[in-house]
Amino acid sequence: MSAVTERTSLWGGRFAGGPAEALARLSVSVQFDWRLAPYDIAASRAHARVLATAGLLDPQELGRMLAALDDLEAACASGEFRPTVDDEDVHTALERGLLERLGALGGKLRAGRSRNDQVATDLRMYLRDHARGVAGRLVELADALVEQAERHVDTPAPGMTHVQHAQPVSFGHWLLAHVQPLLRDLDRLRDWDARAAISPLGSGALAGSSLPLDPAAVAHELGFTAPAPNSMDAVADRDFVAEFLFVTALVGVHLSRLGEEVVLWTSTEFGWVELDDAFATGSSIMPQKKNADIAELARGKSGRLVGGLVAVLTMLKGLPLTYDRDMQEDKEPAFDAVDTLQLLLPALAGMISTMTVRVDRLVAAAPVGFSLATEVADWLVRRGVPFRDAHEVTGRLVALCAARECELEDVSDDDLKTVSEHLDPSVREVLSVRSALAARTTPGSTGPGPVAEQLATVQNRLDSWREWAIETVVPR
């Protein structure tokens, strides 16, 4: 290795001295952008090959350059090479490592590129790579929900609106209602990936390069679909960060809704679900407590994910073209979103897959609160009563039951006649939860047939997502 005795810097030739300590401390980003190192090295390999094609590196120099990059990558992976307090960012640190291995030859790699197009490329590669990791974790959570739903296709539950009993539903249908937004999140990730698959490398600082480079070749090698069509936009664009953070924030919102429901389901008042001991916590003072902390953390961390989106959108608002140092603030929210979901999703999947559903409690709760009232109204409609009138008649029947503190099926035949001439004892045929569920036969509804169809469709879609989640888009 060639010794480098002076501090490595990617700028400073026109300055009489180094930066003030306060500026240096404010500018440093290597403490968080170091995770981009593998992507920066991959981009450096591609750039080195393009420089060689352009005649700016001879074959021997290219061979030495690629060997040094391989060695540097291994040293980074093992921890042998690490950034120092003097390294401003990941690019500075890696150039120092290359200069240590190649001496002056290492400096040739900087030709035709800038930190502006480097960091935009590295971050796209990182997020495209990790979006697939997030997708894999979303599939695991969806799988856990699907497995529980399969067990409870025929388990009745009191469906809610306004957190009030509304109509009976299948608990399997309810669980699958949490899978659908996860599938939309997965769709959004793939849609995002198509837009993020544009390579900024070759744009330089903002104007492209006068050197005979080949941005298309670089884009192809790095797993992108095409080079950026406008060099100014390429280095200024952080739409891909903001859009990624929107997707992760919406994932957080969906996880928060699931978490809130688990908190309710496991409460003493509901008692519908029992969490496995491995996925619950206790109290430091109350020995009887069993807390749904994972579900609560899902609610809490959604705020963190939404906050990252707001921070980046606010940072980007009003920035002039092209690159501005404000953009240093794009990476920490993006990294934090990835880390948060990689931590949270496996815990939620474990909690869901191991929870015990109290079928007896759900069955008992399903008809409570006059949840079969709509069945009465629909029964009247089938007998030719306009729904407006059927709604009024059923409302009067419910009012009678509420006054007497009885359920719909407890009303006498005489009381039925008193409420309306349209009501007779045959209405009792619809006053069961099982019949209410069986009557729901339209696509997407809560009857056993439609729920089974939904299960099959969801499982097929998840299988396709498993394949996408393990795709390799960034060269190793």
Q: Residues 114, 204: contact at Cβ < 8 Å?
A: yes
Please tell me the predicted confidence (pLDDT) of residue 2. Answer: 43
Q: Residues 141, 182: contact at Cβ < 8 Å?
A: yes
Chain mean position to CA 206: 32
Greatest distance between any 2 Cα atoms in the chain: 101
Indicate the pLDDT class of residue 296, thresholds 50, 70 and 90: very high
In CATH terms, the fold of domain 373-431 is Ribonucleotide Reductase Protein R1; domain 1 (1.10.40)
Domains 21-111 and 116-365+455-469 equal at CATH topology level? no
Residues 6+ apart with CB under 8 A from 158: 165, 166, 168, 169, 362, 365, 366, 367, 368, 369, 371
Residue 448 confidence (pLDDT) above 90: yes
420 — phi, psi (to 5°)? Answer: -165, 145
> Which single residue is written with the structure tokens 């659908």?
180
Average of per-residue pLDDT values in the chain: 94
Which of these, 176, 158, 156, lies nearest to 167 by C-alpha position?
Answer: 158
CA–CA distance, 253 with 300 (Å, rounded to integer): 10
Indicate the pLDDT class of residue 5, thresholds 50, 70 and 90: very low
Mean pLDDT of 242-247: 98
Per residue in 22-70, pLDDT (tens digit) is 887 888 889 999 999 999 999 999 999 999 999 999 999 999 999 999 9
Interaxial angle between packed helices 387-404 and 373-382, expressed in degrees from 0 to 180 and rounded to the nearest 10: 140
Please tell me the predicted confidence (pLDDT) of residue 4. Answer: 44
Tell me the catalytic residues: 162, 283
Computed over its alpha carbons, how large is the radius of gyration of the chain? 30
Window from 13-27, 46-60, 84-98, 323-337 with minimum mean pLDDT: 13-27
Going through 253-364 in order, the beta strands assigned E by DSSP cover 273-274, 356-357
Please tell me the predicted confidence (pLDDT) of residue 7. Answer: 55
Indicate the pLDDT class of residue 273, thresholds 50, 70 and 90: very high
Please tell me the predicted confidence (pLDDT) of residue 8. Answer: 60
Mean pLDDT of 232-241: 98
Identify any residues that bridge with 170 across adjacent strands, giving them in sequence order. 156
3-state secondary structure of 374: helix
Does CATH place domain 21-111 in 1.10.275.10?
Answer: yes
Please tell me the predicted confidence (pLDDT) of residue 294. Answer: 97
Please tell me the predicted confidence (pLDDT) of residue 114. Answer: 95
Please tell me the predicted confidence (pLDDT) of residue 361. Answer: 97
Mean pLDDT of 196-211: 97
3-state secondary structure of 72: helix
Residue 432 confidence (pLDDT) above 80: yes
Per residue in 97-146, pLDDT (tens digit) is 999 999 999 999 999 999 999 999 999 999 999 999 999 999 999 999 99
Q: CATH code for 116-365+455-469?
A: 1.20.200.10
Residue bearing the bigger pLDDT, 439 or 26? 439
Q: Which residues of 291-320 are buried (b: 16+ CB within 10 A; e: fewer)?
A: ebbbbbbbbebbebbbbbbebbeebbeeee
Q: What is the pTM of this model?
A: 0.92
Query: What are the residue boundaries of the structural domains of the chain, listed by start?
Result: 21-111, 116-365+455-469, 373-431
